[in-house]
Amino acid sequence: MTSPMDLPLLGKVKLVETNKDELITIWSDVISKNNIKIDENEKVESIVKEGEIFKVTTDKDYTFFP
């Protein structure tokens, strides 16, 4: 990345040189600080925007995201 990038929930980030461990740390901090729930081993079947909310349907369940 040669120029700063604006990442939602984090802000501007400029990474001239980085490695996998640094990226994992950044994403882990974003997930932790924003109480993001990640369900693994689910296939996303659809994402539908309903107003300001996203309805994500998976092969196991569905969730609403503001």
Q: What does pTM read for this prediction?
A: 0.56
- Ranges of each domain in the chain: 1-35, 38-66
CA angle 54, 25, 39 (to 5 degrees): 35
Q: What sign does the CA torsion over 55, 57, 65, 8 have?
A: negative
Contact 36, 23 (CB under 8 A): no
Question: pLDDT tens for residues 20-52?
Answer: 888 888 889 888 988 888 888 889 999 999 888
**Cβ partners under 8 Å of residue 1, min gap 6:** 13, 14, 15, 16, 18
Q: Residue 26: what are its φ and ψ, rounded to 5°?
A: -60, -50
